[in-house]
Amino acid sequence: MNRLHLALPLLLLPATDLLAASFERDDALKLPNVVISANRQVQARNDSSAANTVFTRDDIDRLQPTSVSDLLGRVPGVQVAPTGGRGSLPGIFIRGTKSAQSLVLVDGQRIANTTSGDSELQYLNVDQIERVEVLRGSRSVIYGSDAIGGVIQIFTRRNAEQGLQPRLKLGLGSHQTWERSLGLSGGDEHTRFNVGASLDDTAGINATHESFPSDGDHDAYRNQSISLNLSHAFNDELQVGFNLLDNRGKSQYDNSFGRYDATTEQTVGQKPYTDYTVSSASGYVDAKLNERWQSRLELGHSENRDTKRDKLSDDFSVFNTYRDSVNWQNDLTLNEQNSLILGGDWYEDRFHGSSAFTENSRWNRAAFVQHRFHGEWFSTELGLRRDQNQQFGGQNSWSGTLTVPINADNDVLLSYSEGLRAPTFNDLYYPDTRYSNPNLQPETSKSYELQWRSQLSDSTRLEASLYRTDLSDAIVLDSTSMPQNVASARINGFEAALKQELFGWQGNLGVAFIDPRDRDTGHTLARRARRTLSLDLDRQFDKLGVGASWQAISSSYDDENNRNRLGGYALLGLRSRWAINHEVSVSLKVDNLLDRQYARARYSYNAADFSNNYDYREEGRTWMLGLTWTPQL
């Protein structure tokens, strides 16, 4: 592939004459042909060894997603399995791995709950997001634990221009859904800022089968979100900044199993809900120490607070987790062909709640190095990371990639990578020692991948991957419900992304074929469909933009024994946006236009008795009407 036209946007970043280099990273977040997450540095997407997908703010405005999960479902090799409507917990499966085996970052900070391992993406408001990057395949050399299946990084809203730019958005939709957000960005040649706030609420749907009279209600959801980004360039060589994202609110859900009432000695219904907070904050110093040495120091703090209550009783439980982190990375340009990344990570996880865990904190520290050689006939990337964890001791991770440019428009990449995932606090320290195991070791993986990247024509680009992942020491519950390192899995897959422009229409097609199996039983891993397809078509007619989305998912199994089958489904959505003038635009979208009934997850009272298994309901046909006002000051 000719690197020149892919790297050209980096040379055209909007910045002042004095400070073009200082705001390079912030400006890069606006560009579709660069990626930051792969090596924690700005690089052309085609120069990255990771299979990747990027959604910019322009993509988000065009696609009009309801949630981050809506975006992720468009990525080849990524499957999403919610457990109801808005605000419900989604399963995120990247290349057949489970949710806890993929790392989720917000502005570089881990946000996963350390008790369950869930990142709770359902609580992140898309109006406060500038960019989403998805890396498919292990990146444990750069990020350490959890990055077995891949990495999802979310960047908060940014400003790229001088002056003040206010914005206001109002939305009304199905199920008494309201969306309200406002923001203000601005800056000069030295300082940039963006501040935003959103309030969303919906009456929701009844996500489960009615087992008790109290269980027949709709599950409402409310989200309050704020974001703040501030950066200041002292000169061309030194920049400092601060990022904040805070999401909090209330999410109702169903507990179809009820609770045991000791007074009546009967199982009674509940009306449970969660008061939640998911937040992250970080500060950084980015310095160009000389022509060959760029250094970045980041300090971060994230919180995941969860209080579960019941409207029909005094029952409640508190699970609050906190994380402090430090990352220091140094990018060294040795010469025109060789570069080096040297870095160190430290983070500490803490738990506070209504349950007394046997341990409530642990730390992890790591050092990593990655060398890259870029030659005329081939390029290489070789990395090593050493993690030292307070609970399980030391662990090494290796990765290597060979890139061969077949010609100016075609690259072939062959790579090997290792990954690991540390057990959660629930796995290790749950108060009832019958259901925890402090002797657990990390899950590990070995992945092999062949990529082909081709610019077939000026208007056609194809990216394809053939891969295999072997999982070892996977943590599962034994016959007594105690977690053990006993399982292993083998995942074979193929995925492809095609971008095509034809007659003014922009098409994005993603397909994936996957065979994820338990190596001991030969069964397909739960909730993983073998075939997925996503297609987006969009066209701009002067001031009117129109688009359509089609998603097709094959059947899967909800249980590890492959006896509880979930049927396949296909969904069609339409969207439009009309720019009334330079300041006002109106948007309209309809999801699940054909009102298909389908399920991506199931719950059961008794896994052996299929008559007591029920689908989590999904929303049928829904619509959303929006108004956006961006006044010129």
pLDDT band at 477 (very low <50, low <70, confident <90, very high): confident
Rg (CA), the chain: 24
The whole-number average pLDDT for the span 95-105 is 95
In the predicted structure, residue 15 carries a pLDDT above the cut 50: no
Whose CA is closest to 385, among 120, 32, 140?
140
Q: Judging by DSSP bridges, how do beta strands 266-268 and 221-235 pair with one another?
A: unpaired
pLDDT band at 302 (very low <50, low <70, confident <90, very high): very high
Least confident of 12-26, 153-167, 293-307: 12-26
In the predicted structure, residue 20 carries a pLDDT above the cut 60: no
pLDDT at 262: 65
The whole-number average pLDDT for the span 511-537 is 95
Q: Per the structure block, which two tokens stand in for 466?
A: 């053939």
Q: How far apart are CA 105 and CA 612, in angstroms?
A: 38
pLDDT at 2: 42
pLDDT band at 604 (very low <50, low <70, confident <90, very high): low
pLDDT band at 26 (very low <50, low <70, confident <90, very high): confident
351-392 pLDDT, tens digit per residue, is 999 988 989 999 999 999 999 999 999 999 999 999 999 988
Whose CA is closest to 576, among 537, 619, 533?
537
119-137 pLDDT, tens digit per residue, is 899 999 999 999 999 999 9
Distances in whole angstroms, Cα of residue 339 to Cα of each of 1, 30, 142, 213, 570: 20, 25, 15, 64, 46
User: Contact 133/37 with Cβ under 8 angstroms?
Assistant: yes
pLDDT at 85: 87
pLDDT at 615: 82
The whole-number average pLDDT for the span 546-560 is 95
- Give this prediction's pTM: 0.93
436-461 pLDDT, tens digit per residue, is 899 999 999 999 999 999 999 999 99
225-270 pLDDT, tens digit per residue, is 999 999 999 998 999 999 999 999 999 988 766 776 666 767 777 8
The CATH architecture to which 162-629 belongs is: Beta Barrel (2.40)
The whole-number average pLDDT for the span 404-421 is 96
pLDDT at 180: 97
In the predicted structure, residue 277 carries a pLDDT above the cut 80: yes
pLDDT at 489: 94
In the predicted structure, residue 217 carries a pLDDT above the cut 50: yes
Helix (DSSP H) and strand (DSSP E) numbers for the chain: 6, 37
In the predicted structure, residue 3 carries a pLDDT above the cut 70: no
pLDDT at 253: 87
Q: Where are the domains of the chain?
A: 162-629
In the predicted structure, residue 22 carries a pLDDT above the cut 70: no
155-192 pLDDT, tens digit per residue, is 999 987 778 999 999 999 999 999 999 999 999 889 99
pLDDT at 602: 82
Q: How far apart are CA 453 and CA 161, in angstroms?
A: 33
Q: Per the structure block, which two tokens stand in for 261?
A: 């009432």
In the predicted structure, residue 613 carries a pLDDT above the cut 50: yes
Q: Give percent of the chain above pLDDT 90.
A: 75
Q: What is the mean pLDDT of the chain?
A: 91
In the predicted structure, residue 345 carries a pLDDT above the cut 80: yes
pLDDT at 6: 39
Distances in whole angstroms, Cα of residue 333 to Cα of each of 36, 288, 290, 344, 373: 17, 12, 10, 18, 11
pLDDT at 265: 66
Least confident of 390-394, 461-465, 580-584: 390-394
With 0-12 / 13-18 / 19 or more C-beta atoms within 10 angstroms meaning exposed / middle / buried, residue 206 is middle
Q: Judging by DSSP bridges, how do beta strands 584-591 and 569-579 pair with one another?
A: antiparallel
In the predicted structure, residue 494 carries a pLDDT above the cut 70: yes
The whole-number average pLDDT for the span 411-425 is 96
Q: How far apart are CA 310 and CA 316, in angstroms?
A: 7
Pick the more confident residue, 477 or 510: 510
Whose CA is closest to 539, among 501, 484, 592, 568?
501
In the predicted structure, residue 17 carries a pLDDT above the cut 50: no
pLDDT at 271: 85
For the CA atoms of 524, 526, 528, 531, the dihedral, rounded to the nearest 10 degrees, stands at: 40
For the CA atoms of 24, 26, 28, 29, the dihedral, rounded to the nearest 10 degrees, stands at: 170
In the predicted structure, residue 478 carries a pLDDT above the cut 90: no
User: Contact 572/594 with Cβ under 8 angstroms?
Assistant: yes
User: Contact 585/579 with Cβ under 8 angstroms?
Assistant: yes
398-412 pLDDT, tens digit per residue, is 999 999 999 999 999
pLDDT at 454: 97
The whole-number average pLDDT for the span 72-94 is 92
pLDDT at 311: 86
pLDDT band at 11 (very low <50, low <70, confident <90, very high): very low
Pick the more confident residue, 22 or 389: 389
Q: How far apart are CA 102 and CA 138, in angstroms?
A: 8
Q: Give percent of the chain above pLDDT 70.
A: 93
Q: Judging by DSSP bridges, how do beta strands 150-156 and 102-106 pair with one another?
A: parallel
pLDDT at 603: 76
In the predicted structure, residue 10 carries a pLDDT above the cut 50: no
